[in-house]
Amino acid sequence: MTTVMLLGTLDTKGEEYGFVRDHLHAQGIETLVIDAGVLDAPTLEADISREEVAQAAGAHLARLASDRDRGAAIDAMMGGARKLVTPLVARGGVHGIFGMGGSGGSTLISGVMRDLPVGFPKLLVSTVASGDTRPYVGASDISMMSSIVDISGI
């Protein structure tokens, strides 16, 4: 069975990730949803929670939220997601990763994707994909697709 990881911020993009998850399930593709959001309550239940991601980073989710430091939160959640995602890929239980977001979400998601092996499928739908994508893609094989407009609702 094919399994695709869906990595994103479910406090701001839960509805959109639910839409993608449901469409993948309709095609017989399993999903593993990972929440890397910090500020508000998630609007979609994750298989790997934001608390687990923060804990993997050695951070406290409540502190990240109360500090309201976007850069620090992105760095922490990116680090935690890397620690959780990389072993899943190494074990071979997942077959691709998908993410979507604006500049902050794209920074977090692409940071995790860049650590994954060349040839492992990576797709990032992003509001920043129409510009200079070098900071997001680096020397990796991330496929970026422009969202055309902001990702905000179905």
Residue 154: the pLDDT is 64
Residue 10: the pLDDT is 98
Residue 147: the pLDDT is 87
Check the CA dihedral 122-123-124-128 and report its sign. positive
Choice among 9-13, 61-65, 128-132 with the minimum mean pLDDT: 128-132
Q: What pTM, to 2 d.p., does this model score? A: 0.94
- Report in angstroms the alpha-carbon separations of 52 from 80, 86, 91, 137, 150: 8, 15, 19, 26, 28
Helix (H, G, I), strand (E, B) or coil at 84: helix
Cα 74 to Cα 140: distance, rounded to the nearest angstrom: 20
**Residue 152: is its pLDDT beyond 90?**
no
Q: Residue 53: which region, alpha, beta or left (left: phi > 0; alpha: psi -120 to 50)?
A: alpha
Residue 59: the pLDDT is 98
Which residues in 70-107 are b (16+ Cβ under 10 Å) and which e? eeebbbbbbbbbbbbbeebbeeeebebbbbbbbebbbb
Domain positions in the chain are: 3-146
CATH architecture assigned to 3-146? 3-Layer(aba) Sandwich (3.40)
Residue 153: the pLDDT is 64
Residue 42: DSSP 8-state: -
List pLDDT tens digits, range 41-88. 999 999 999 999 999 999 999 999 999 999 999 999 999 999 999 999
List pLDDT tens digits, range 84-120. 999 999 999 999 999 999 999 999 999 999 999 999 9
